[in-house]
Structure 1
Amino acid sequence: MLFLLVSFFSFALLLSKSLPLHPLPPWASDMRLLSILFCQELLSSLLQLFKRCRPFGGRTIISVSPSTMPPRKRCAQKVWSMEEPAEISVLDLPELALECILGRLTPAGLSNMAAVCSSLRERCKSDHLWEKHMKEKWGRVIGHAAHRDWKLYLASKRESTAGVARIDRRNNWIGLLFSCALPIPWLNSRVESGSKTTSPLPDESIMSWYQSLESGKLWFPAQVYNREHGHVGFMLSCYDAEVCYDCRSDTFYARYPPHGRRTSVIEEGVQWDRLRAPPVDTPAHSLHISDCLNDLHPGDYVEIQWRRNKEFPYGWWYGVIGHLEPCDGNEHFCRCHLSDTVILEFKQYTPGSRWRHTSINRKDHREKGNEADGFYGGIRKLQSKDEISKWRQLWPTDVLE
């Protein structure tokens, strides 16, 4: 092949010297450029061929991959290779052993292992490996609303990717026409590679979701205890917000919805212990439909919606069910749970404060209140000891007025 190439260039040089020097037509420069490109591609192909070949005993032996090697030669090659120290890859391990190793890796280790090769990438992206990590780190702050927003985020990325692909197809119609006019395979491949979109398709794996949360690229809905750095006006309350993780400080940014004429507020440095996943799927401006009113007894711990006025979003406020005025609190004679009136106590406020007590109707409760005292909305009864313990941990050091 090398001899033919040298002969071709010698003949072309001799022919160029023997031709008369007449003016060339205008298209000659284009053809000269195409001939140069053709020669470059031919030389590149020959170099790749020479790299795959190796001299052995005066002959040229082309290396054969083990997958295409006959079984007898493959066995012979294994026997010959036993004389030298064999290199063992991670992929040579048994399936169960490899799964045990991957299952013990940290999220950073799995991400690094996924960058080794395509086979390990598919294994390290498996959802069953990332479900544990997702639950351990994000399970307490991720709820159904966050998962729904993640699906919407993926759908928007698909639409944007499809839009970019349509624009690329329109912009490359000239190149496609040129490739049809000159049906040279390597030219066609270059035009087609230039027309492909560079935007990757969205990844629906749990690994991708975890990395989006970890990198802070994704804002997701959650609720924040004692918002705005524990402002006294929000003590023992929990408000809806969109939060974003900051891996440098291991804290969150919290973006609260506007309050009346007040613009959106962003709080920095929100700690993990001030976040929770929304316990109910009720938007911040919607009234929660209470389903526990008939089961409320004195001493039960509850959360109730409250907002300053009609323009404000609801927050969830911690309280306890109290006794009616005629009742002395004796459990053997108490009949408060049979009354239609339910007393709510907020013991973080001093006795005599207008925020200390309120009452609602058990049978027909909707939003109740006025512009002076605010509006009380839906109620949810706290069943979990962890929820009650969390509120007690947030109890203010001083009694509120």
Structure 2
Amino acid sequence: MPLITNEAPQLMKKEASLLELPEAILDNILERLSPIELCSMSEVCTCLIGRCRSNVLWEKHVQRRWGRLLGDVAYREWQFHVMRIMNKESPSLQRNPEGLLGSFTGAWPFLCLCSYLENPGDLASLLLSNYSNMALYVSLQRGRFWFPAQVYRMTPFQLPRRYNGLLSYEHVSNTFQARCPTDEWRLIEKNITWDRLRLPPIHTSPYTLYVSNNNDLKPGDHVEVQMRKGSRTYDWCYGVIDHLESCDKDMNNHCSCEHSEMLVVSFKLQYSQWKSIAIKKEANGEQKIGLWKIGGIRKLEDLEDIRRWNTEHHMQISSLSYYV
């Protein structure tokens, strides 16, 4: 005799699929995922690969994480590597996909390394599928793309300065390492924090003299000065235009510094000390002042540039206190 029960048979419930969501909602969900989560999501099924690797999605992650360090020059260098990989123009790439891919400018002995890419062959599949922004993010995060930027450095008993370098990210320590793009490229500075880095404000080789109009400078202007000492390459040092010794420093009535043939630049050294030099305004080419060779002068118009120079100076002072 069959068993009679009062229980109704349970209905089978169909679970909703992620792919059944409206496209706008799905895109909104993907935009909220981190890069690691996007990579994991792209492996769920073939339908999600294109969405999770799209250039639009990864461009936002590139800008969010690297935007303040990647300028037009760095993007042009990246596109140079992309085209060479896609066109298979590099003999080293064909012979050894785990090698290096670099670009240079200038001529020996003033040859300058613009950027380089480690293990370029690994990126071919992403680039051939037109996922270049994801490839860029991965290359930066893994420290394989060495891109141009400027590094702030302050060493004991020397002028604080910024030098042009090629940067590579160290994800374990969340710091960078830098190579000089010139004849000192074998030297590597490590453990560089984010706050010591910036975009190059102008696109010029560290070998190139910056052309400036010094006649527009007046006392009180904040400037960056090209300087070199015992090297063929320029660094940038921060200074303030000062009055001549013969001036009574009365800007309203009697200051004649703007009409002088000479220009006084005061540099901030360690522990609030200052060092001043006098240079000719209309000199063509660099000028030699003691052991230093002075190049072009760039007037700082942006208050953020001035603030960062002074902030970095005070931060580095504390780290050098053991030299006192």
TM-score range, shorter chain: 0.7 to 0.9
Q: Which residue of 2 aligns with 1:158?
A: 86
Q: Which residue of 1 aligns with 2:206?
A: 284
Q: Which residue of 2 aligns with 1:220?
A: 147
Q: Which residue of 2 aligns with 1:268?
A: 190
Q: Within the alignment, does 1:242 sit opposite 2:163 as a pair? A: no
The correspondence of residues 361-372 of structure 1 with structure 2, limited to 5 A, is 361-369=280-288, 372=290
- For 2:94 and 2:252, the matched residues in 1 are separated by 75
Q: Which residue of 2 aligns with 1:392?
A: 310
- For 1:165 and 1:315, the matched residues in 2 are separated by 34
Counterpart residue identity of residue 326, structure 1: S
- For 2:47 and 2:185, the matched residues in 1 are separated by 50
User: After superposition, what is the alpha-carbon deviation per residue over 1:46-65, rounded to whole angstroms, capped at 9, x for unaligned?
Assistant: xxxxxxxxxxxxxxxxxxxx
**1:234 CA drift (Å):** 5.0
The alignment's TM-score, normalised by the length of structure 2, stands at 0.76
Counterpart residue identity of residue 52, structure 2: C
Q: Which residue of 1 aligns with 2:266?
A: 345
- For 2:36 and 2:299, the matched residues in 1 are separated by 40
The answer on whether the counterparts of 1:296 and 1:321 sit within 8 Å (CA) in structure 2 is: yes
**1:303 CA drift (Å):** 0.5
User: After superposition, what is the alpha-carbon deviation per residue over 1:177-222, rounded to whole angstroms, capped at 9, x for unaligned?
Assistant: xxxxxxxxxxxxxxxxxxxxx9636355222111110011111111
Q: Within the alignment, does 1:209 sit opposite 2:136 as a pair? A: yes
The answer on whether the counterparts of 1:161 and 1:200 sit within 8 Å (CA) in structure 2 is: no
User: After superposition, what is the alpha-carbon deviation per residue over 1:296-342, rounded to whole angstroms, capped at 9, x for unaligned?
Assistant: 22111110110114x43110001011112222222212232233422
Unaligned runs of 5+ in 2: 1-10, 96-122
The correspondence of residues 14-53 of structure 1 with structure 2, limited to 5 A, is none
Q: Within the alignment, does 1:119 sit opposite 2:39 as a pair? A: no
User: After superposition, what is the alpha-carbon deviation per residue over 1:212-267, rounded to whole angstroms, capped at 9, x for unaligned?
Assistant: 100111111111101xxx422554200011111111111111112456xx673111
* Distance change >3 Å, CA 382–CA 89, structure 1 → 2: same
**1:119 CA drift (Å):** 2.9
* Distance change >3 Å, CA 307–CA 133, structure 1 → 2: same
**Among 214, 230, 244, the residue aligned to 1:324:** 244
Q: Which residue of 2 aligns with 1:185?
A: none
Name whichever structure is richer in helix by fraction: 1
The answer on whether the counterparts of 1:258 and 1:265 sit within 8 Å (CA) in structure 2 is: no
Structure 1 vs Structure 2 CA RMSD: 3.2
- For 1:265 and 1:165, the matched residues in 2 are separated by 25
**1:387 CA drift (Å):** 1.2
Q: Which residue of 2 aligns with 1:28?
A: none
* Distance change >3 Å, CA 331–CA 246, structure 1 → 2: same
Q: Which residue of 1 aligns with 2:100?
A: none
Q: Within the alignment, does 1:381 sit opposite 2:305 as a pair? A: no
Q: Which has the larger radius of gyration?
A: 1
Name whichever structure is richer in strand by fraction: 2
User: After superposition, what is the alpha-carbon deviation per residue over 1:149-192, rounded to whole angstroms, capped at 9, x for unaligned?
Assistant: 2122223323448979999xxxxxxxxxxxxxxxxxxxxxxxxx
- For 2:132 and 2:12, the matched residues in 1 are separated by 42
- For 1:235 and 1:360, the matched residues in 2 are separated by 17
Q: Within the alignment, does 1:200 sit opposite 2:125 as a pair? A: yes
| Counterpart secondary structure, 1:279 | coil
The alignment's TM-score, normalised by the length of structure 1, stands at 0.62
Q: Which residue of 2 aligns with 1:48?
A: none
Q: Which residue of 1 aligns with 2:155?
A: 231
Q: Which residue of 1 aligns with 2:102?
A: none
* Distance change >3 Å, CA 266–CA 140, structure 1 → 2: same
User: After superposition, what is the alpha-carbon deviation per residue over 1:336-358, rounded to whole angstroms, capped at 9, x for unaligned?
Assistant: 2233422111132699x9x8222
Unaligned runs of 5+ in 1: 1-82, 168-197
Higher relative contact order (CA 8 A, sep 6+): 2
Q: Within the alignment, does 1:85 sit opposite 2:13 as a pair? A: yes
- For 1:93 and 1:287, the matched residues in 2 are separated by 58
The answer on whether the counterparts of 2:228 and 2:234 sit within 8 Å (CA) in structure 1 is: yes
* Distance change >3 Å, CA 235–CA 164, structure 1 → 2: closer
- For 2:268 and 2:126, the matched residues in 1 are separated by 53
Give the share of equivalent positions with the same residue, in percent.
Answer: 37
Q: Which residue of 1 aligns with 2:178?
A: 254
| Counterpart secondary structure, 1:224 | strand
The answer on whether the counterparts of 2:217 and 2:241 sit within 8 Å (CA) in structure 1 is: yes
Could you list the structure 1 runs, at least 4 aligned residues long, displaced by more than 6 angstroms after superposition: 161-167, 398-401
Q: Within the alignment, does 1:110 sit opposite 2:62 as a pair? A: no
